[in-house]
Amino acid sequence: MKMLINVPETVVADALRGLAAAHPELTVDVENRVIVRRDAPVAGQVGLVSGGGSGHEPLHGGFVGPGMLSAACPGEVFTSPVPDQMLRAAAAVDSGAGVLFIVKNYTGDVLNFDMAAELAEDEGIQVAKVLVNDDVAVTDSLYTAGRRGTGATLFVEKIAGAAAAEGMPLERVQAIARQVNESSRSFGIALSACSTPAKGSPTFDLPPGELELGIGIHGEPGRERRAMMTSGEIAEAAVEAVVEDLQPHNPVLVLVNGMGATPLLELYGFHAEVHRVLAQRGVPVARVLVGNYVTSLDMAGASLTLCQVDEELLRLYDAPVSTPGLRWGM
């Protein structure tokens, strides 16, 4: 596989150097692998820290900035960051109002963020946590106990970030983040496997005429493999899986997310089918986001996330945000 890299060993460091050069509004510590908004800590505001393995960009580092995350900790490709990174991030963004850790439900992330929270508490930093576990495809997988954390991470980080920007206390920001997670469900589809820089070849075997329903963002197995389907058939399967589990009674935010190698031409076509199926099911749509936000390197495919919202959550979602990966209202 041809990749636009120097050597596999420096992929993350090279990307962080590039991020720093492109976005001077961020403070990027390449050596210690911490990305912080340059104006942190912001007086009176809860700090939001997230992170995870690299390879899912713009998640998480691309979501650091006003109205979203205060800091992010990138690990090696598909590998959890370590507690020291999380502790550095918490110390950098704590204004005295406390810090919220937003953690995707992968075993390494959970264990390391738990350890970092204990270390931060020892240093006098008040820490709360929220676990993102929105994927309806499988209950347990190679990397998780329980449901995986996927596309809803964007909604949690955006809405909780807006709550923090309004000066809400830590307990309230945590409660809103949990509400968003509980109101969200996701389902992913792979049309091809991804290739990690270290391996240099596909991470699993997916024959040309097949797709995998319910794939994870690291290439974990899904619910089943089928012969290739049309965009409309895939949308029907994804919407059914999400809506049957979520049972929305409020309008929903819709995220049609590319896995990294699917062009916008296909993603917008897929959204047209998702929109059709939601309308047939009587699910009202409040807002739509289409693009590559929670990716899996060069995997072809897409994921669908729905988050049902009340007036407050919709107001917070619409609030201004200014990050490399998400920007509006500023």
Q: Which parts of the chain are beta strand (E)?
A: 26-29, 34-37, 47-54, 71-77, 99-104, 127-132, 184-190, 210-213, 224-227, 252-258, 285-291, 301-308, 321-322, 327-328
Query: Which listed residue (23, 60, 218, 271) is catalytic?
Result: 218
The answer to whether 271 is a known catalytic residue is: no
- Tell me if 135 sits within 8 A of 153, measured CB to CB: no
Rounded to the nearest 10 degrees, the angle between the axes of helix 264-280 and helix 231-246 is 50
Neighbours of 204 (CB within 10 A): 13
60 is catalytic: no
Number of helices (H), then strands (E), in the chain:
8, 14
Phi, psi for 206 (deg, rounded to 5) = -130, 105
In angstroms, the Cα distances linking 38 to 30, 45, 139, 330 are 15, 14, 39, 17
DSSP string, 272-312: HHHHHHHHHTT--EEEEEEE-SS--TTB-EEEEEEEE--HH
* Residue 149 contacts residue 132 (beta carbons within 8 Å): yes
Structure tokens at 117: 């929270």
Question: Residues 23, 56, 60, 271: which is the catalytic one?
Answer: 56
CB within 8 A of 315, min separation 6: which ones?
none
Q: Is cis: bond before 60, omega within 30 of 0?
A: yes
Which residues are part of the catalytic machinery? 56, 218
